[in-house]
Chain A
Amino acid sequence: MSTVTTTVVVEHRSPVRTLGWAVPALVILLALPFVADQYQTILLAYGLIMGIAALGFNLLLGYTGLLSFGHSAYFGVGAYTVALMVKYLGVSSMELFLVGAIVACVLVTAVFGIACVRYTRIFFGILTMALSQVLWSLAFKFFWVTGGTDGLRVPTPTLLGAITGKGDKIAFLATSYYYYVLGVFIVCVAVMWVIVNSPFGRALQAIRDNEVRAEFVGLQIRQYRWVAFLVSGVFTGLAGALWVPLNGLTTPDIMHWTFSGEIVFMAVLGGFRSFTGPIIGAIVFNYLKTYAVGYTVYWQLFLGVVLVVLVLSLPTGIVGTADRLWTRWRAK
C-alpha cells in the first residue's frame, strides 16, 4: 500500500450511479438461463454463491482490517448443517436449510469470535486458520456422523415449499435453483451494502484505519469486531448452504484451510478495497479454476502464477483497476 502524498479528493458517489451499474448487471443475470446453456448457468450459480462467501469474508478484510484464514470453516458449517438436517431430520425445504445454516453459523462464529477478536494481524489469521482446521478434522474423523472423506449426499431441495427437482435434476438446477440462488444473492448484496454504509460500517472502517483512535472516540472495538466476525461468518455460511444442493455432496475439502485461501484469493483478485471487488473476484475465480482444472492437471500452478502476476501488477484488483481506468478515461 503506497502512502498518500498528494491531496486525494474523495469522489462523492451517488446511489444513482451505483444503480447505473447494478441494473444492467441484474438484467444479464436474469436473462442468462434463456440465452446460455445449462452448464454455463450452473457455473454462474457457483460463481454467485462464491460471491456471497467472498462478500461476507470482505466485511472482515476490507472493512474491519482483519485477514481471516479460516472462512472455510463457516462455509463448511453451512454446508454440513444442511447435510445433517437431511440425514437426521429428513428436511428437504431450502428455506429451513438456510435458517438452520444461519443458526449454526451464529453459534459457531459467536464462540470462535470471542477467541479471535482478541487478536489482530497475523495472530488473528493463524487463530482463525487453526480453529477452521479443528472443524475440518471433525468432519474428517467423525465418519459415522459426517461420512468422513466420502462426505454426505444432499438431494435437490424443495424451494418455497412447492418447487422440487424431481425428474430432470440438471434442468432444475439451471432454472429454478439458479433463480433461487440469484434471489438470495441479491438480498445478501443489498443487506451487506446497507451494513457497510451504516454507522456501524463506518465504525468498522474507523477501527480498520486506526484502532487507538477508534477507542478514543468511544468505540468498544472488540465488540464491533465480534459483531463483524459474526455477520461475516453467517454470510459465508449461507453460501455454504446454497452450495451443497448444487454440488449434491459435501466433503471435508471445503473445510480445509486451502479453501480459505481460495476465498482470500477471490477478494484479492477482485479488489478487497471496493464493495463489488470480492463478488467480481469470486465469479472470475470460479471461471478461472473451472477452466484451469479442465485444461491442465497443473491448475494450481496456473492459479499461483495468476496470483503472483496479479499482486505485482494489479494490487487494487480487477475492480480497483477498472475503477481507476474509468476515472482516467472520463477525466479526458
Chain B
Amino acid sequence: MTVLLETRKLLKQFGAFRAVDQVDFRVEEGEVLALIGSNGAGKTTLVNLISGLLRADGGTIVFRGQDVTAQTVHERIAAGIARSFQLVNLFDQLSALDNVALAIFSRQSKTRKLWVLAEADRPVWQEAMEILHLFRMEAKARVLAGGLAQGERKLLDVAIAYALKPRLLFLDEPTSGVSTREKAPIMDTISSIVRSERISAAIIEHDMDVVFSYADRIVAMHQGTVLADGTPDQIRRDERVLTTLIGTPEASR
C-alpha cells in the first residue's frame, strides 16, 4: 500500500491547550480508516487541520507527495481532499439535486461562468442525478435540502463531498444524530460507494459497532495524541484503548 496522506508532528493550540499535539497520522491509498476517541480527543481538530478549515501551528501535511500545509481550502480540494461535516452543512434553499450539481460545477471550474444558463449543462445534471441514485436519494432530487429528514441530510452532505471526486474523503460522524436503525443503511451506502470507487476514507465515529464492522484500520486518539493504531482486531485487544476509550474489558463484552 502506498501512503496517500501523511502528517508529521502536526500541532494545533487553542491558548495553552494542545488540541492536536505533535500528531503523526497517515492514510493509505484505498483504505477505510476510522478515527476514534472520546470527546475532545482532537479527532475533528485533526480533520479540520488537514481539510484546511484550521491553520496548523506546527508540523507538516503531505498529500500525494506534496506539502499542502500552507495551501488554501480551494487548493486542497483541487488536489483531492474533500470532507463532510458533523453538523450537516447544506445549501438549505437549494434542492438536493442543486446541492450536488453545484459541487460538480465547482469541480469543473464552471462556477465562474455568468453568461450561460446552469440548466443548459445536461451532463452536469445527469451526473448529479447519478450521484443521488448512488446514494439512493433520487426520489428526493427536487426537495429543498432544508426540508429533508436528518438521515437524508447526512447522506446528502456526503454526496456533495463525493461529487468533488476526491481521492481522500473525511467523514465527520456520518451517523451522528440519526436513529440506531438508520445507522447501518447509511454506512452500507457510504462504504459500498467509497470501496467500489477506491476512494480513501477517514471516518470519525463514536459508535464502536460501526467502527469495528466497516473500518480496515483504526486510529485511536486521546488528549490530542495518537493512542493506538492498528487493525480492528488489534484495537479490540489493545489494553490502553480499552481502559481509556471503551471502558473496562468486562463492560465492552
Contact = CB atoms under 8 A, between A and B. Distances in A.
Interface stretch (B74-82, B211-219, B227-235, B239-247): B74-82
B144 A4 contact: yes
B91 A200 contact: no
Nearest to A15: B119
A219 B53 CA distance: 13
Interface stretch (B15-23, B96-104, B182-190, B196-204): B96-104
A198 interface: yes
Contact of B111 (A3, A6, A195, A200): A200
B93 interface: yes
Interface string B46-77: 00000101000000000000000000111001
Contacts of A4: 92, 144, 146-147
Nearest to B78: A218
A198 B146 contact: no
A200 B95 contact: no
Contact of A7 (B74, B90, B117, B143): B143
A10 B95 contact: yes
Interface of B: 51, 53, 72-74, 77-78, 82-83, 85, 89-95, 98, 101-103, 105-107, 110-119, 121, 142-144, 146-148, 160-161, 164
Counting chain B CB atoms within 10 Å of each CB, the highest count among A12, A197, A206 belongs to A206
Contacts of B77: 216-218
Interface in A196-225: 197-203, 205-206, 208-210, 212-220, 224
A194 interface: yes
B112 A200 contact: yes
B93 A209 contact: yes
A22 interface: no
Contact of B116 (A198, A210, A231): A198
B144 A220 contact: no
Interface of A: 3-4, 6-10, 12, 194-195, 197-203, 205-206, 208-210, 212-220, 224, 227, 231
A201 B117 CA distance: 9
B142 to A, nearest CB: 5
Given A198-B113, A213-B91, A218-B74, A203 B105 contact: yes
B146 A210 contact: no
Nearest to B91: A209
B219 to A, nearest CB: 22
Nearest to B163: A217
B89 A197 contact: no
Nearest to B105: A199
B119 A10 contact: no
Contact of B147 (A8, A194, A198, A219): A8
Given A205-B91, A205-B94, A198 B82 contact: no
Nearest to B84: A216
Contacts of B110: 199
Given A10-B143, A206-B91, A215 B102 contact: no
B204 to A, nearest CB: 16
B116 A213 contact: no
Contact of A203 (B85, B111, B160, B161): B111
Contacts of A6: 147
A205 B93 contact: yes
5 contacts: A8-B147, A194-B116, A201-B114, A214-B91, A217-B107
Given A199-B114, A209-B93, A218-B103, 19 more contacts: A7-B143, A9-B142, A198-B113, A199-B105, A199-B113, A199-B116, A203-B105, A203-B106, A203-B111, A210-B90, A210-B92, A214-B91, A216-B82, A216-B85, A217-B106, A217-B107, A217-B164, A218-B73, A218-B107
A144 to B, nearest CB: 40
A202 B118 contact: yes
Contacts of A227: 114
A240 to B, nearest CB: 22
A206 B147 contact: no
Tell which of B82, B111, B143, B147 has the most Cβ of chain A within 10 Å.
B111
Interface pairs A-B: 4 shortest CB-CB:
A200-B114, A8-B147, A213-B89, A209-B91
